[in-house]
Chain A
Amino acid sequence: MIPETERTNSEANSKTNVEKIREQFPIFRHQDVRPLVYLDNASTTQKPQSVIDAIVHFYANECGNIHRGVHYLSERATESYERSRSKLRRFIHASSDNEIVFVRGATEGINLVAQTYGRTHVGHTDEILISAMEHHSNIVPWQLLCEEKGARLKIVPINASGEFIFEEFEKLIGPRTRLVAVTHVSNALGTVNPIRNIIRLAHQFQVPVLIDGAQSASHLPVDVSSLDCDFYTFSGHKMYGPTGIGVLYGKELILDSMPPYQGGGEMIRSVTFEKTRYQKLPHKFEAGTPNISGAIGMGAAVDFLQSVGMDSVFMHEQVLMAYGSKTLQTMDDVRMIGTAKEKASSLSFVIEGIHPHDIATVLDQNGIAIRAGHHCAQPVMDFFRIPATARVSFGLYNTREDIDALRLGLEKVREVFK
């Protein structure tokens, strides 16, 4: 942890801290031509040395399969894997390790809930409620379920600022609603949703709530116990950990009542051709040899984030969001897409007469990585009547200098297309 005294907003101190953080990321050291300005953190984050080392250490020193061997390496691997689970549990303030299921990422977390909880609780003419700003991964699994069950997917609309319209949510939730699934932070707009109020209202109707935390877990403190959400899912690679690993949090009582997701090894207690008995939580949902090194790497990412402190991360990024917004708004041909009062992580924008892909290519040539496209949120693009946006998204290693470089880069974009 960084001592409280160093956590002031004073520019000099915060710069020193960011420099210390950047030094931990090898990718910022290996830039031969020009310094990398990485502003595509909502797609994936870079990895600190400690995460890379944790993965290498596992393969070099303790590679064995988990939960089965009686030999030394298997025990070491099991211990490291389960220790990571505990780290993740503490990270989001879950009450038990049984509530932390390792999955491939937030996408699989949502699919798991749709295919297990959904298939047992959603029937003909029942309703599932999502918002109009969801990522495709929080739309399509529910569409598949609705098609199978003859259920209906209902959409809570957003306003012109890209905010969840709570009054519409109040009108849409009702006796047929079986589940509410909303994103914590929008990947296309940066909007932070009022999930605490959403959860509270849904619970008044005895409706469970799934929160897609893919864009929030690395940006703001998450406390699932205090939020009282029923499911929360997020990906390792968007929080400085490896790809192919993520977490589904579920309340123990609910997870326990759900049928398994996939069948196979690891998730069974006994198998005969007549009857199979399943493992206890959380192993019931972890069929097959899991991504052991990934889970260990994700645990190392939690250590890394906690060494900085999520409050500090949030404050640092809010400063960047404000400075980034201000910088973009001084350019008169830039139009911000998504102007919610509460935003985190991402700034989306378009420039009159220049396609976002052309913006991104010109910026790339200047060493600036941003995302351009529909951000797997085509309904959001349709709502704003645009084919795509340019999106800059921040991480804890970004600086004001990165935003200044972005501004210079955008001036070059204008020059090319003047």
Chain B
Amino acid sequence: MSNLNNLYTNAIVEHSKAPRNFHEPETANRKASGHNPLCGDKFNVFLYIDNTGIADIGFTGSGCAIATASASMMTEKLKGKTETEARAVFTQFIDLLTGCSDLQTDSILGELSIFSGVREYPARVKCATLIWYTLQAALDGQEGTVETE
């Protein structure tokens, strides 16, 4: 069961059961949708971006515990960040999950680094990254649906 604890950490289970920022902010001025046709996960990301950066962020949708926790923790991490900072977190997160790099000593991921356990489960990596690619689409102003599988 030790392997499994790397995947379903307390934080991931807890966020999946009580996701933060799980709503559509009224002020949202950018949004994007993400869909994993293989498992049916569907999420929407909403951003309110003002001249300081991501002033508000929320998400809606449904998916597995990994996907939901990833979305919840993403919103906590990025609220108040500038777009540049958010994109830097995105890059580090994707690199960590897809095995492009190990966790760096100067990592800016913080608590998000617990998702490195997902690497042991290649079939589940897309669950964790879906919301992040959706975020990227929202930042880029693409309103279509991002698909991962």
Instruction: State whether the Cβ of A273 lies closer than 8 Å to any Cβ in chain B.
Output: no
Contact, CB under 8 Å: A358 / B64:
yes
Question: Are B4 and A358 touching (Cβ within 8 A)?
Answer: no
Closest to B41 in A: A387
Cα–Cα, bound, A388→B13 (Å): 19
Contact with A along B63-100 (1 / 0, CB 8 A): 11110000000000000000000000000000000000
The answer to the question of B23 belonging to the interface, with a C-beta cut-off of 8 Å to chain A, is: no
Tell which of A353, A362, A381, A416 touches B40, judged by Cβ atoms closer than 8 Å: A381
B17 touches A365 (CB 8 A): no
Task: Tell me how far the C-beta of B72 lies from the nearest C-beta in chain A, rounded to whole angstroms.
Answer: 14
- Chain B residues whose CB sits within 8 angstroms of the CB of A372 once the complex forms: 39
Judge whether B38 and A416 touch: CB under 8 Å. Answer: no
Q: A244-287 toward B: CB 8 Å interface, digit per residue (1/0)?
A: 00000000000000000000000000000000000000000000
Q: Are B3 and A357 in contact (CB under 8 A)?
A: no
3 smallest CB-CB distances across A and B, nearest first, come from: A387-B40, A355-B64, A357-B64
Kindly report which residue of chain A lies nearest to residue B63, judged by CB atoms.
A355
Interface size, chain A (Cβ < 8 Å): 19
Cβ of A184 under 8 Å from chain B: no
Distance, CA A417 to CA B7, complexed state (A) = 12
Give complex CA distance A356, B7 in Å. Answer: 15
Complex formed: what's the CA distance from A387 to B67 in Å? 14
Decide if A115 is an interface residue (CB 8 Å cutoff). Answer: no
CA distance A358 to B3 in the complex (A): 14
Between A and B, 8 residue pairs with Cβ closer than 8 Å are: A353-B17, A355-B64, A357-B39, A357-B127, A358-B65, A373-B39, A387-B40, A417-B8
Contact in complex: B4, A387 (CB < 8 Å) = no
Q: Tell me the minimal C-beta distance from B111 to chain A in angstroms.
A: 19
Residues of A375-418 contacting chain B, CB below 8 A: 378, 381, 387-388, 412, 416-417
C-alpha gap A131/B66 in the complex (Å): 34
Residues of A within 8 A of B8 (CB): 358, 362, 416-417
Residues of A within 8 A of B16 (CB): 417
CB of B33 to closest CB in A, whole Å = 15
**CB < 8 Å neighbour of A388 from B1, B4, B40:** B40
CA–CA, A381 and B40, complex, Å:
10
> A interface vs B, CB < 8 Å?
353-358, 361-362, 365, 372-374, 378, 381, 387-388, 412, 416-417
Nearest-CB distance from B22 to chain A (Å)? 15
A88 to chain B, nearest CB (A): 33
Rounded to whole Å, the gap between the CB of B60 and the closest CB of chain A is 14
**Seed contacts A355-B64, A365-B4, A417-B8; 20 additional CB < 8 Å A-B pairs:** A355-B65, A358-B64, A358-B65, A361-B4, A362-B4, A362-B8, A365-B1, A365-B3, A373-B38, A373-B39, A373-B40, A374-B40, A381-B40, A387-B39, A387-B42, A412-B1, A416-B4, A416-B8, A416-B13, A417-B65
Query: Is B107 part of the contact surface with A, judged by Cβ < 8 Å?
Result: no
In whole angstroms, what is the CA distance A12 to B127 when docked? 45
- Of chain A, the residue at the smallest CB distance from B124 is A361
The chain B residue sitting closest to A387, CB to CB, is B40
Note all chain B residues with C-beta closer than 8 A to A373: 38-40
Most buried by B among A358, A362, A381: A358
* A205-B35 Cα distance, complex, nearest whole Å: 43
Q: Give Cα distance in the complex from A336 to B98, angstroms.
A: 36
Q: List the A side residues contacting B127 at CB < 8 Å.
A: 357
In the assembled complex, which residues on chain B have CB atoms less than 8 Å from the CB atom of A381? 40
Which residues of A are found within 8 Å of B124, using beta-carbon distances? 357, 361
Interface membership of B101, Cβ < 8 A: no
